[in-house]
Amino acid sequence: MRIRLEKKNRVSTDFVEIEVDKEILNVREGKLKKNGGPKWGKHCGTIENAIIEANKIKQEFLDKKYFEVKSKQIPSDFNGVYDKAKWHFRGEFPDELDIFQGYVHTGFYLTWIIENGIFDTNGDDHLSIEISKVKRKELTGAEFFEENLDGVLMDDDLTELGNEFSYYYYQKGKFLDDYSKILGTNLPTLYHIQDNWENYEKFKPILDKRFKRWEKSKKPKWWKLN
């Protein structure tokens, strides 16, 4: 059971995520496009008690003018893995390149995910520190991907919102097409794209655009609200 609630302010959006995992209740609050606070968990004894407690917390936030965000279910045939660097070390991967180049495309996407606050540290303090390094541009997303995720991007690494968008855009959408169009022109392969902040800044606007368009498509039109 997962519940996501949001409240739009003049310049930001607050959110709370409530999750029941068997008898454990997990709650996380934060602001969209910023890191949320760490999850806090509570052992409720039984799953029934956890659900009751989750619904109580949900109502508290509804009373504070939050609204529930209904998520689209990710199809059951998705195995939870968005990408693995090792998938790219065979086949068309150029012999002359360092295998680190297989981390770069996912690294750019991870940087954007981190900047927008939809990476889920699951309460891991070390990951929180490493995320801060990415935000300060002391560590690239590709380096973060290699050093902290072992080159595997999974659904557990993302918030619910992050998973919805990533399934739509990264897994089933136009990510690689956009990546190629923006950064891969006149290069022998996409693996030749260099991992640097200049390339990321070139790519970032299209990610922002895709997210805004996707987010807008989810919202009901004003004439359908009643």
Condensed to tens digits (0 to 9), the pLDDT of residues 23-42 reads 889 888 888 755 555 567 78
The answer on 143 and 116 residing in a single domain is yes
Structural domain contains residue 136: yes
174 and 210 Cβ atoms separated by less than 8 Å: yes
> pLDDT tens digits for 78-121?
888 999 999 998 778 999 999 999 999 999 999 999 999 899 88
The answer on 124 and 32 residing in a single domain is no
d(CA 134, CA 68): 31
Element of type H or E holding 2: strand 2-8
Domain that holds residue 23: 2-68
The answer on 212 and 100 residing in a single domain is yes
Query: How many independent structural domains does the chain possess?
Result: 2
Please tell me the predicted confidence (pLDDT) of residue 153: 96
The answer on 87 and 63 residing in a single domain is no
d(CA 184, CA 179): 7
Structural domain contains residue 224: no
65-79, 99-113, 202-216: least confident range: 65-79
Task: Phi first, then psi: give them for residue 55, nearest 5 degrees.
Answer: -70, -35
29-38, 44-53, 154-163, 167-176: least confident range: 29-38
Structural domain contains residue 96: yes
Domain CATH for 35: 2.20.140.10
Residue 224 banded pLDDT, cuts 50, 70, 90:
very low
The answer on 192 and 126 residing in a single domain is yes
Is beta strand 2-8 parallel, antiparallel or unpaired with respect to 13-21? antiparallel
Residue 192 banded pLDDT, cuts 50, 70, 90:
very high
The answer on 8 and 95 residing in a single domain is no
